Structure 1
Amino acid sequence: MQKTSTRLLLLLSLLQARQDWPGALLAERLEVSQRTLRRDVDRLRELGYPITAFKGPHGGYRLDAGARLPPLLFDDEQAVALAIALQIAATTTGAGIQEAAARALDTVRQVMPARLRHRIDTLQVTAVQQPTARPVSQAGGDVLATIGAAVHAREVLRFDYTSPRGAAGETRADPPPRRVEPHHLVAWGGRWYLVAWDLDRADWRVFRADRVVTRAPTGPRFTPRELPAADVAAFVAGRFQGFDGTGGWPCRGEVILDLPAAEVSPYVFDGTVEEAGPGRCRLVLGSWSWTALAATIGRFDADIEVVGPVELERAFARLARRYAAAAAPPPPQ
């Protein structure tokens, strides 16, 4: 029979793995009698774990929510995932929990075995906020660990990069392998991205981590270059918004909407909204093209008065012609 302490840890791990455990099955997994199982459950209860017994043909035990948080057990992957989540929370402004997340990360790191602590120390994540969420990409943990280690060690990274081409779901590798100086591993809008200096293209690039297939070994060490932006958040936001991080949107316009400012402002994340009279508001917004800006403004489903510039007026005219043609009945066959 296992030592009591070892058995209690195994019992706790099993109770965390599923909602309900039939008593007979739990005793079988622990290789103990039902009487010993009851004593072990009582010991966990004394330590603060809210374990309840349920009756029935297959009566057993479940671990419920309690009034306070007892010690928990995590496997290796859960521990790494928890540490990454705490890193993101600790570096995300506006959440109001940065200090608490940083202290929690220190606590988790202290009790990790050396092999996991090394993975966490080399996997430094930068969280960049984005208002609209997307499905989380399926970047593998090994890929993230390899990228994070290269960022931490400042070593040139080689990888194959796939991108959607042709038919839906079809991908093709872009030969030859990319050679980059990795600078940041970034969480942005539900996906992982690598911010790096592309050695062959002599320019900054942002790569989706789920399209990266790393090659070993990593290359020589490098001295980090300075990002062409105030910080990595400004740089990544700029790349996704169509500029290089040194300025604003390439296309910015101003309109009057026949909607109250209170109804418009919740949906404007990087523009300005102000009252312009009863039931009207002034909206200043940017985008990567004039047509995209006009379409974005049109989604508010209200009458629009263009203040300027003239490029925005022309974009509305182009969209009006396209929409009118799309609404016209098809010609007779």
Structure 2
Amino acid sequence: MDSPRKRMLRLLSLLQTGRQWTASALAEASDSTPRTLRRDIEFLRELGYPVSSTRGPGGFYQLLAGRSLPPLILEDDEALATVLGLRLSAVGEAGNGDTAAAAARAEEKIRRLLPPKLRRRTEQVLAAVEVSGTNADTPSPSLLQILGEAVTSHRALYFSYAPKSADLAGAESDSPRRHVEPARLLRLQQRWYLFAWDRDRRDWRTFRLDRITSEPLNSTSFHPRPLPAEDLVAYLREHFRGIPELTVTLLLHASAEEAARRLYRVDGSLKPIDENSCRYTAHVDSYAWLSLVLVLSDVEFTILEPPAFREEVTALAHRLLRGAGNNQRYAEERS
């Protein structure tokens, strides 16, 4: 039989799964006798763990939610997965500072409490994993909470929504008002989306959370409609694949962190080269849109591929020179 300390930790780990345990099953799983189990349960209650129990043939033990968070016991693989997940959240999302900071603090607290052997294993995994930030904004926790509550309580919402052409201006006054019945929150292609029934357009629509320009307001309740597909993620991926996608590769003369802050309006991936440059692969449905973003983002760049995008930027530069009246320079570049 294990030592009392190991037995107690194992018992607590079993109870924290949230399932209902019969006395015999819990005693066997924690490697203890029924009498020892009852004593251990009482000890946990004295420590503040709300362990409920029912007597009789259908009796069971279960750890309930309490008023405060008691110490959490994790198995080795659970602790490793938790730390890695928090690292991905803290480093991989380059958008919402509050969320990233909270994830980093939680990761540090867990790593500090790990036993030396498990801490070394965790450090080895983290050292071997390279996580690059996305160039998409992470939604604020308050927005996620509002939308999540609307989905589960079946409350319609009003909010202002900026069309793609208004992304750069970010002006709420120019954003049309939408009235929707929220169905699901999804994360696809490094973006967060609300999938909802648009009451004005009488059809299903996806709304990028970073384009919601006002705090959503509750409207009336609604009866949930049947979703257009059982697997919404697969359904939307197929929908997105139907949109023509152009790929552009750039050498950006800025750090990956700086580029991620400035180019959040475009889907793509960043690969650091050194502290002053990075490789950027952008996925867009319009060369003109990417050209405009690059100009307004004020990031020095070199086009690596494709030639078609280089021609698009060259034509735009010539048009701007003509508009500025610099015909002599334009003629020189044409020769």
Per the TM superposition, whether the score is higher than 0.5 is no
TM-score computed with the length of structure 1 as normaliser: 0.42
- What TM-score, normalized by structure 2, do the two folds share? 0.41
Greater relative contact order (CA < 8 Å, ≥ 6 in sequence): 2
